[in-house]
Each structure stands twice: as structure tokens, then as C-alpha cells.
Amino acid sequence: MTDPLARAASTSEPGVLELLRLFRDNEAASDQYAATRLQQAKTVEPALHAFEVLPADVSRRPGPLSGIPVAIKDIIATSDMPTTNGSPVYSGHVPAADAWVVERLRQLGATIFGKTVSTEFAWRHPGPTVNPWNPDHTPGGSSSGSAASVAAGLVPLALGTQTLGSIIRPAAFNGIVGFKPSFGAIPRIGVHPLSPSLDHVGFFARRLDDVAFALSLLAGSSDRDLHGRPLPGFAVDIEKGLQPLDKPRLAVVRFAKWSSVEPEQQKVFEAAIAKLRGAGAILEELELSELDESNWAAINCILASEAALIFADLVARYPDRSSDHLKSLVENGKSQSATDYLAAKALQEKWRGVLSAQLSGYDAILTLQHDGHAT
């Protein structure tokens, strides 16, 4: 029997900007693209398990993203299909309204291409999604299905969320681009919270140009989500995409856990440094020792405290439908003192300023994704 995932993962599938250029000159292609992707999804989905639900209607809509199928993580509300939040508590639940970002995608003409598997409430309890490059490997979480659907060539763009590492990690595990924008860049209205002080909406794509283009269209603000600072408007040219920097200055950051990284991963990291340096980039080692020592405890205090407030009642009402991971998170949060939480919040605010100063002058950071189980 032929393995439906044997050729699913691919780096050759076109990205969003490539498709928009194609659609401009080929209306038939724009009409057919999403339908073709849907048929492919139905073929590989029994083995991939990236979707909670596939779309019933993929008709093209007018707008700057016309013909582009976008998969939606299943903690992001959709008014025309279930949003389960990765939990049996919400099985079959269809929200009354779209999330802010989904409504914006519809206004832009995108095709909402189903709901992708998330870990339970974007926390540790995994769903059934496999890695399309190797089904014996994890796709990472919590945005498992979104990352796998892009890597498998089913969609060129997918929405994810990140509280700790839920975009960056699965993007790395699936060999695609993951982008977590600045805190508050995209309103989170209609996105089930895990920790409001840390939650972000972001994207997966196969090209760096595509996530920049998506951000240019989806960044915004709302009086109903006043977290963060709105981004200044910018545009990405569909023809040119992002223009490469001349001799970019990159910070190489090796956190304390570098010594525990597997040798194969260390070799890949060093090879990336050598390749970038050979291409003309300027790379400098940067230590962030104070951040390394204090940040992890603070961030987990904030997350657990806020999650306990959000989920304590749900766990109490539905103990048989809540995972041990979620119950443990709630208990951890209840054990945090108010002074510990306030101290962690103060450290978070301090580091927003300190880190910006330490990274001043660098165009990007080169580091390893966190491979823990937090999200």
C-alpha cells in the first residue's frame, strides 16, 4: 500500500506571493487552486491528522488574498465551522462570531481552509498530528496542525498562536517559516486565551516574504484588546518581496542549555553560521546570561497563574474531559503567590526595555528553538 505521506512534505510548493502573481495572469488557476489543495488534503489527512475539520466551501472571494487558502488553528474562533480548542469539552462547538483575525482574512478575500489540530487549549496535551517529513517524529506543538499543513503543501499560509514556543518550535520541526510578531501586533479577540500576558497570534508559511506580507495585511488594533503596541503600517511589494540586507549583522545566542543540545543539532547550527558568514553576514556571539537565569522561572509563574484563573472552573466542572497536563497547570498556578506573580510581571516589563537595548544594532538573532513541552 502506498504511504500517503511519502511525498507530502515539500519545499518546492509555491508561496503566497508566487501564487498571487500566478493568479493575476491565470484566473482559472486562482479558481481551482483551493479545490485542488482540498482534494490533496483529503488524500493525506488520514495519515497526517493535521485538521480537526476541512472546509465545505472553497469558492474564491474577491480581495488582495483572493484564491489563497489559509488554515486556522483550532483555538481561533470561526463562525461557520467548529472550534474545539483541542478539548472534548468544546466538541462540536461553533462560535457565534469569527475571531478578529479570521474576519480580517475574509475581508481580504482569503479562503478559510478548515481548522487545524492544536494541543489542548494550546498547552501540553498533544493531538494526533504527525510530522509530514517523518510520521514517527513529532510535528511540535501547540500549533501542530498548522505547521504540518504548510509543510505538507496543503496551504501556503496558516494561523498559529504562541505563548512560549508554539509557533517557532513546530516551524523548526517541520522545516518551514514560523513568525511570532511583536506582542499586541494582531488583536486576539476570539482566540482562546492561555496566558493573556504572553499570548500572540502569528503565521506559518514556506517563504519569509509571505509572513512579512501577511503581517502587513493583518497587523491592527482593537479597543477590545489593548495589549501591546500597534505596529506602524508597512507594505510588501508582491513583485519584489523583501529585499535582502547588505551584510546583515546577526547575534548568535547560545543559552545555558546549549551543552545539552544533541550533537547533530549543534552541527546544523554551526553549519548555518558558516553559511551565513560565507554569504557576507556579520555574526557576533551575544550572551544574555541574566535573561537565561531569571526569565524561565518568571515566564512560567505568569503563565501558570493566569492559566489557573482561566481554567480552574473548567477543570472542576469537567474533570473527566480535562487532561492531567491541564489539571497540573491549574494546580501549579494556584500555588503561585500574588507577590511572586507581581514580581514576575515586573521582571517582564523590565526585560522588554533591557532586551530591546541589548539587541540594538542587530538585524536578527540566530539561536535554537526551545524543544520543551510547554506549549
Strands of the chain (E only): list them. Answer: 51-53, 69-73, 111-116, 157-162, 177-179, 200-205, 249-252, 282-285, 364-366
| Phi/psi of residue 328, nearest 5 degrees | -65, -40
Helix 289-317 with 324-335: angle, nearest 10 deg? 110
**8 Å CB contact between 77 and 67:** no
Exactly one of 66, 87, 144, 166 is catalytic; name it. 166
Exactly one of 118, 142, 143, 197 is catalytic; name it. 142
Exactly one of 30, 66, 73, 322 is catalytic; name it. 73
Give the H/E segment covering residue 247: none
d(CA 130, CA 138): 6
**8 Å CB contact between 171 and 147:** yes
d(CA 271, CA 297): 32
Cβ neighbours of residue 6 closer than 8 Å, sequence gap 6 or more = none
The sign of the torsion formed by the CA atoms of 263, 265, 270, 271 equals: positive
d(CA 176, CA 369): 13
The sign of the torsion formed by the CA atoms of 216, 218, 222, 226 equals: negative
Q: Is 115 a catalytic residue?
A: no
Task: Please count the other Cβ atoms lying within 10 Å of the Cβ belonging to residue 38.
Answer: 21
Task: Please count the other Cβ atoms lying within 10 Å of the Cβ belonging to residue 300.
Answer: 18
Q: Is 335 a catalytic residue?
A: no
Q: Please spell the DSSP secondary structure of 14-46, one letter per residue.
A: --HHHHHHHHHH-HHHHHHHHHHHHHHHHHHHH
**What is the set of active-site residues?**
73, 142, 166
